Amino acid sequence: MFTTLFRAAALGALLLLAACERQTGSVGTPPTDLPKNLRVYTVPVERAEAIHHALADALGDSGRVALAPPDRLIVVATETLQTAVAENLGALMKSAGPAAAATPGPVRLVIWVVDVADEATSDPRLQPLESTLAALRETLAAPGFTLYGQLSITADAGERAANNSAGDSRTKLQARLTPADGGVHAEIRIGADRMQVFTQTRLKFGETVVLAQAMPEGAGGGRIRLVIVRADLAN
């Protein structure tokens, strides 16, 4: 879509400029002999190829454009067309908004469902969460914690990524991951007994996040249940 937008805008500008160049040629200088200048434009790395091809199509025989990786476009064209190129590039950078984050590859998502214990218990399965739980212990006035369930999935993060699921007799997990800068956006649905949690959140790789703390009526009274999640690159 970005390429199409660029081509339409650039072609529109070039069509408007054609009359100007023909007028200049009518006083004795053929349009093909108009002096051409060289300019170098910096463009986003992730869009450089698309812009290069779109601009080459738009210029046609009226100019030349080459890509100097990773992010420089070298354009040879008349000064009038150079002005149009600069204006169109500037407008498109504003209208296109921020570039989509690159797909990170396989991502490992781990969730822990943790209950606050009545006694100062030490569950060795919670060792990876030691620093996170230490910070929560004082806030929640929790003597200790026990692990209710733990699940993990390894999935690709992409705009068309499907829901991924895992589960056992106690805990169910569904998750859909899309790329974000330094991590993923996650749509997560977790079921643990009568507790159902659905949330959308951004997860940075390597950070452990407490997503929810709730215990429904009739499923443990006022006990607190934590849902803790972490995302890491799988490779």
pTM: 0.57
Query: CA dist 118 to 121, 143, 144, 211, Å?
Result: 8, 6, 7, 22
Name the average pLDDT for the chain. Answer: 77
pLDDT digits (tens, 9 = 90+) for 140-169: 888 889 999 999 999 888 755 667 889 999
Percentage with pLDDT > 90 across the chain:
18
The predicted pLDDT at position 5 comes to 39
Q: Are 73 and 48 in contact (CB under 8 A)?
A: yes
pLDDT digits (tens, 9 = 90+) for 212-230: 776 766 655 567 889 999 9
Could you state, in order of their start, the residue ranges of all structural domains in the chain? 2-96, 106-233
pLDDT digits (tens, 9 = 90+) for 163-203: 788 999 999 999 989 888 889 988 899 998 888 888 888 89
Residue 100 Rama label (left phi>0; alpha psi -120 to 50; beta): beta
Which has the higher per-residue pLDDT, 233 or 50? 233
